Amino acid sequence: MKKIVLSLFIAAALVSVSCKKAETDGSKDTVEAAVTADGVVYKANTTSSVINWGGSKPGGKHVGTVNLQDGEFTVKDNKIVTGKFTINMSTITVTDLKPDDGKEDLEAHLKGTGDKADQDHFFNIKKYPTGFFVIRRIEEENGKTVVYGALSIKDVTKAVNFPADIKVTDNEVSLESDTLVLNRTYWHINHASKSLFDDLKDKFIHDEIQVKINVKATK
């Protein structure tokens, strides 16, 4: 079984020269806190919204998806002013493997529901069934729309930002991010990290994961 890390918000083309590396810091802002703002609320469509992810190791790579549990944008003057989203970690899916060809084993390993459930290698969904993302602000920078927010995975919250294509109409809001690169160890997803363990030789998994977010919401 190939053991490859997922991530988020979590995911996606694998590392691309066009990827913008997401900036993170040690922000302790809690993403569970209520986001308050005047405006019109658009509810996320959890069927048409998806987070694509990708991860790799020497000689191998995997891609997949994870879904939202719920979420919403608040819009004022045709612009998003805030947003908050719950990520359903139990929906982690590997899309490049077929059933009975390692797909189920890798998904169970990522979720922490397989034979290594007591080792907390990846997302440990029994203890951490959801992740959270909050949009703090959106700014125009150098001709691009940049989303600033906070991502919480495994009860660890970090600030992230990424360019995105955002469209707002009277009935719908859509947000499609650029492919962003996240260091999984910032959220304590440490399994087989060469930066943390020095005895892995070529049996390591790259710390960087690729995530692409596509959210659609309606009134």
**11, pLDDT greater than 80:** no
How high is the pLDDT of residue 67? 98
149 vs 101: CA distance, rounded Å: 37
pLDDT digits (tens, 9 = 90+) for 86-135: 999 999 999 999 999 999 999 999 999 988 888 899 999 999 999 999 99
103 vs 115: CA distance, rounded Å: 15
CATH number 2.30.110.10 given to 20-218: no
27 vs 23: CA distance, rounded Å: 11
How high is the pLDDT of residue 18? 36
**198, pLDDT greater than 80:** yes
Domain ranges for the chain, please list them: 20-218
187 vs 10: CA distance, rounded Å: 12
Q: What is the DSSP string of 170-192?
A: SSEEEEEEPPEEEEGGGGT--TT
How high is the pLDDT of residue 36? 56
153 vs 171: CA distance, rounded Å: 31
Helix residue spans in the chain (DSSP H)? 103-111
Reading the block at residue 200, the tokens are 């892995």
User: Which distant-in-sequence residues (6+ apart) come within 8 Å of 163 by Cβ?
Assistant: 20, 144, 145, 146, 147, 177, 178
- Phi, psi values for residue 160, rounded to 5°: -135, 155
Q: Is 149 in a helix, a strand, or coil? A: strand
How high is the pLDDT of residue 161? 97
How high is the pLDDT of residue 32? 42
44 within 8 A of 216, measured Cβ to Cβ: yes
Select the more confidently predicted residue: 15 or 40. Answer: 40
**Mean per-residue pLDDT over the chain, rounded:** 87
